[in-house]
């Protein structure tokens, strides 16, 4: 009988996080066109019932298709789970994302995904299958109301031991997990960022757990932040200090030493103008960025007092990288959005400069998240992670990670600009 296996980079005996990208293959490679699908089981007892009989198996209502074959013999991959054929037209090897949502999130003890490769309308017990333990948990509560839990009594000594853990209840647990990872990936922002993606490609099971921690421990959720009582509001105070500093600079800092007009007043003047003067706009943005960085004692790299400008696509606004702030001059017509972007990017600079392990719990969490940063370029690996904002727009893994949630929170506080 044929059987389903995975690459050695997966440990099928260890729990998986929801949303994790998984690649499976049939051990006996043949020319048979097969379908793929899976059953979800929210208990070990329910999973065992799958194997009572074909009739019982096919009566389950928790079945989802990954790869199907239509009436014309065409292969159809289910985008809901990012299903794909590793080799074109070859149904022996597939990749897909585990489901992100689980039924009975707060009640189950074990949660399984049973994946079948089959030829008929539905799987049978004669078809090859593999059981994936998807019991890895983070925090406590439902996805829309996650809270911080209690710390582990003892911490694993290495990544392999961490991979066996089924529940990271607290932010402190996550920090200790990231601390262990940093010994493998790197212990500075630069080294962590340079090595993170290659580590994730070689350790997708761990990558899924990192992304799921970001998904559950959401710095965009005030109720979650408030639940981390042993942080003693340290992170919130520092976040407020950062924003208040930016606000004070804009409201009170003069545009020139001998000119009492403030940066905010110059902004108001330009907002009332009808014709865009690129040089004047560049000058104001440079002055705002340099003034905020000076006030926060951030060692910004400039060229004769000017930040870097580039000509990019309209969806690009700006970026921070290695003590440099860059702005897309093609978007200077939207001055308020540009200033929001600058407060966002300077925030990354600030976190990189002042946050480190050993401070408050949430600051330590953000330190590691800044180093283990998910890029928009990390396709497939993190496509299974997403949320919906207040306007029902889907946010991807890049947008919901802590370092982006943190920076986007402070940028939204600039309503005082008008």
Q: How far apart are CA 87 and CA 243, in angstroms?
A: 50
Q: How far apart are CA 264 and CA 267, in angstroms?
A: 5
Q: What string of pLDDT tens digits covers the 418 residues of the chain? A: 679 999 889 999 999 999 999 999 998 878 889 999 999 999 999 999 999 999 989 888 899 999 999 988 899 999 999 999 998 888 999 999 999 999 889 999 999 999 999 999 999 999 999 999 999 999 999 999 999 999 999 999 999 999 999 999 999 999 999 999 999 898 777 888 889 999 999 999 999 999 999 999 999 999 999 999 999 999 999 999 999 999 999 999 998 888 788 999 998 888 887 666 889 999 999 999 999 999 999 999 998 888 999 999 999 999 998 999 999 999 998 999 999 999 999 999 999 999 998 889 999 999 999 999 998 878 789 999 999 988 889 999 999 999 999 999 999 888 777 6
Q: Is 139 left (phi over 0), alpha (psi -120 to 50) or beta?
A: left
pLDDT for the residue 274: 61
pLDDT for the residue 61: 84
Q: What is the dihedral of CA 188, 191, 193, 198, to 10 degrees?
A: -140
Question: Domains (ranges, CATH) in the chain?
Answer: 4-135 (2.60.40), 141-230 (no CATH), 233-359 (no CATH)
CB contact at 8 A, 401 and 369: yes
Q: How far apart are CA 166 and CA 15, in angstroms?
A: 6
Burial class (CB in 10 A: 0-12, 13-18, 19+), 152: middle
pLDDT for the residue 292: 96
How is residue 265 written in tokens? 């007043």
Give 404's contacts (C-beta < 8 A, 6+ positions apart): 398
Q: How far apart are CA 102 and CA 46, in angstroms?
A: 14
Tell me how crowded residue 194 is: count the other CB atoms within 10 A of its CB. 13
Q: How far apart are CA 188 and CA 370, in angstroms?
A: 10
Three-state SS for 346? helix
364: part of which helix (H) or strand (E)? helix 361-371
pLDDT for the residue 42: 95
CB contact at 8 A, 50 and 56: yes
Burial class (CB in 10 A: 0-12, 13-18, 19+), 190: exposed
Closest CA to 249 of 272, 271, 266, 270: 266
Buried b / exposed e along 24-62 (16+ C-beta atoms within 10 A): bbbeeeeeeebbbbbbbbbeeebbeebeeeeeebeebee
pTM of the model: 0.95
CB contact at 8 A, 361 and 338: no
Give me the DSSP letters along 202-213.
H-HHHHHHHHHH
Q: Is 6 left (phi over 0), alpha (psi -120 to 50) or beta?
A: beta
**Residue found under tokens 């600030």:** 350
pLDDT for the residue 31: 83
């Amino acid at each position: 009988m044929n059987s389903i296996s995975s690459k050695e980079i997966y440990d099928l005996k260890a729990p998986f996080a929801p949303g994790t990208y998984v690649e499976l293959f049939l051990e006996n490679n043949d020319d048979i066109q097969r379908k793929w699908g899976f059953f979800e089981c929210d208990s070990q007892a329910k999973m065992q019932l799958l194997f009572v009989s074909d009739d019982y198996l096919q009566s389950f209502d928790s079945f989802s298709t990954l790869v199907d074959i239509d009436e014309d013999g065409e292969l159809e991959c289910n985008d809901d789970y990012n299903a794909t054929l590793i080799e074109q037209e070859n149904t022996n090897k597939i990749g897909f994302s585990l489901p992100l949502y689980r039924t009975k999130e707060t009640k189950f003890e074990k949660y399984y995904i049973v994946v079948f490769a089959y030829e008929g309308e539905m799987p049978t017990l004669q078809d090859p299958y593999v059981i994936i333990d998807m019991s890895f948990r983070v925090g406590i509560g439902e996805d829309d109301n996650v809270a911080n839990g209690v710390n582990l009594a003892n911490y694993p000594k290495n990544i392999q031991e961490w991979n066996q853990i089924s529940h990271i209840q607290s932010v402190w647990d996550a920090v200790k997990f990231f601390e262990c990872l940093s010994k493998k990936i790197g212990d500075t922002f630069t080294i962590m960022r340079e090595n993170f993606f290659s580590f994730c490609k070689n350790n997708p099971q761990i990558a899924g757990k990192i992304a799921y921690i970001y998904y559950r421990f959401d710095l965009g959720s005030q109720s979650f932040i408030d639940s981390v009582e042993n942080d003693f509001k340290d992170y919130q105070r520092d976040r407020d200090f950062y924003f208040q500093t930016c606000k004070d600079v804009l409201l009170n800092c003069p545009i020139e030493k001998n000119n009492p007009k403030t940066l905010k007043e110059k902004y108001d003047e330009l907002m009332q103008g009808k014709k865009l003067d690129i040089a004047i706009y560049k000058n104001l943005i440079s002055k705002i960025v340099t003034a905020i960085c000076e006030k926060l004692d951030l060692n910004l790299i400039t060229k004769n007092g000017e930040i870097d400008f580039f000509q990019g696509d309209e969806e690009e606004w700006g970026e921070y990288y290695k003590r440099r702030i860059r702005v897309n001059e093609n978007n200077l017509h939207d001055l308020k959005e540009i200033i929001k972007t600058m407060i966002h990017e300077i925030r990354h600079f600030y976190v990189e400069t002042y946050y480190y392990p050993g401070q408050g719990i949430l600051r330590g969490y953000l330190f590691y998240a800044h180093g283990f940063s998910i890029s928009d370029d990390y396709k497939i690996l993190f496509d299974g992670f997403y949320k919906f904002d207040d306007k029902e727009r889907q946010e991807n893994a890049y947008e919901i990670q802590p370092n982006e949630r943190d920076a986007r929170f402070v940028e939204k506080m600039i309503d005082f600009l008008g």
